[in-house]
Amino acid sequence: MDHILIRGGRRLAGRVPISGAKNAALTLMPCALLTDEPLTLRNLPRLADVDGFGHLLNQLGASTAIEGTRPEDFGRVMTIRAGRLTSTEAPYDIVRKMRASILVLGPVLARAGEATVSLPGGCAIGNRPIDLHLRALEAIGAELEMAAGYVKAVAPGGRLSGGRYRFPIVSVGATENVVMAAVLAKGASVIDNAAREPEIVDLCRCLVAMGASIDGIGTETLTIEGRDRLHGATYAVMPDRIEAGSYACAAAITGGSLDLVGANGVDMRATLDALIEAGVTVEERKGGVTITADAPLKPLTLSTAPFPGFATDMQAQFMAMLCKADGASVLTETIFENRYMHVPELARMGADIQVSGRTAIVRGVDRLVGAPVMATDLRASMSLILAGLVADGETKVARVYHLDRGYERLEEKLQAVGADIERASDG
């Protein structure tokens, strides 16, 4: 199994190309199941989760073809053709590895009139039930039953009817699933209290490019007029706002300056605002964002929230960064109840962090010390990388397969801007 070695203490400076967004890519890929024509996705990141989702689509009968595989390219071009679905079942062996697999439920149900999907897996960051997915699908006409770890959904008469549903709490994945299902319903659907994340906007724009009718994109109320069919399209995946935010934290914690090429400041406004509050200089321009840290970091008080609030996927990276702030910071995690598993690992490196329920108090320290640490989930992994970049001595990060799920060519990008980092094998 691979691990990553980091020898800290280097100031980072230079250009970091921002890849296509993992969370958007995994939402756009199942759109191909809604049409018998090809869907071509550009700027697709090279990630384990993207490959895994491709295998799932193959299992359902779709073909996936990769173009532009030159080693110097970061993004890929994938054409997905689902001319005929040969299966309507997403099996446990594939779904257990990746929570995003549940996103085939809506489109397969809408296209084939039935779908059977295993309950999902993914990062162990807390209880993430799919009840909101199921309630929303029921509201637009699905009949559901659960047995032996699977969800079986049926559209009576072979087609969903459409309907209205208001989410009791904001859910990104459930919004994505019901939107994909509703675009092929017989009638109209209205989704209230819908998630407004940029990845939802990206999904809706892709579906519109395929012929869907969706009003209210970017708002909490989506009105969808069902279509008899959708057609193929070519669509570019949005830049990854979480990856960009992570490298922004790398610039901040090392006192460096990084040009995040391709980053969209509008999509990561809460992250940039928090960095500015911490004393970091942020320069936005067309085609990217530049992050410069030339003064001691200030402590922050942050609480995660659905978009446009501060993203839960940035909490771990900010916690690592604030370990070097001048004072005590307070972080409150409101989305997932078990997203502080990186705290003991940071403590092994000398961090001073106290957790009480969903709140963590992070007191800045003069120095962090390299140590063997273990990644527990995707974003926690990045927090350990960030701490290692400024730690004295060598940090060994184990279980880096978590990182490979969400960060494209991490070591190469950091090496290019001055980090002393490498991947090695335990064997």
Which residues are designated catalytic? Answer: 123
Measured CA angle at 89 (ends 88, 95), to 5 deg: 135
Task: Confirm or deny that 99 is annotated as ligand binding.
Answer: yes
Task: Confirm or deny that 4 is annotated as ligand binding.
Answer: no
Task: Confirm or deny that 159 is annotated as ligand binding.
Answer: no
H-helix or E-strand spanning residue 134: helix 131-139
CB contact burial 267-302 (16+ within 10 A = b; e otherwise): bbbbbbebbeebbbebebeeebbbbbbeeebebbeb
Q: What is the DSSP string of 335-367?
A: S-TT--TTHHHHHHTT-EEEEETTEEEEE--S-
Distances (CA, A) of 179 to 136, 265, 331, 369, 416: 9, 26, 33, 47, 40
Task: Confirm or deny that 160 is annotated as ligand binding.
Answer: no
Task: Confirm or deny that 413 is annotated as ligand binding.
Answer: no
* Amino acid residing at 239: P
What are 254's two structure tokens?
């090392």
Task: Confirm or deny that 22 is annotated as ligand binding.
Answer: yes
Task: Confirm or deny that 128 is annotated as ligand binding.
Answer: yes
3-state secondary structure of 378: helix
C-beta neighbour count of 83 within 10 angstroms: 12
C-beta neighbour count of 36 within 10 angstroms: 16
3-state secondary structure of 65: strand
Contact 106, 137 (CB under 8 A): yes
Span between the terminal Cα atoms of the chain, in Å: 7
E-strand ranges in 170-327 read 188-192, 213-215, 221-225, 233-236, 257-261, 281-285, 288-292, 301-303
Q: Hunting for tokens 């993004």 — which residue is that?
A: 75
Contact 427, 40 (CB under 8 A): no
Task: Confirm or deny that 17 is annotated as ligand binding.
Answer: no
Strand order in the sheet with 150-154: 89-90, 114-118, 150-154, 143-147
C-beta neighbour count of 363 within 10 angstroms: 15
Q: How far apart are CA 170 and CA 200, in angstroms?
A: 12
Which residues are known binding-site members? 22-23, 99, 128-132, 313, 335
Annotated binding residues for UDP-N-acetyl-alpha-D-glucosamine, as ranges?
A: 99, 128-132, 313, 335
Q: What are the binding residues for phosphoenolpyruvate? A: 22-23
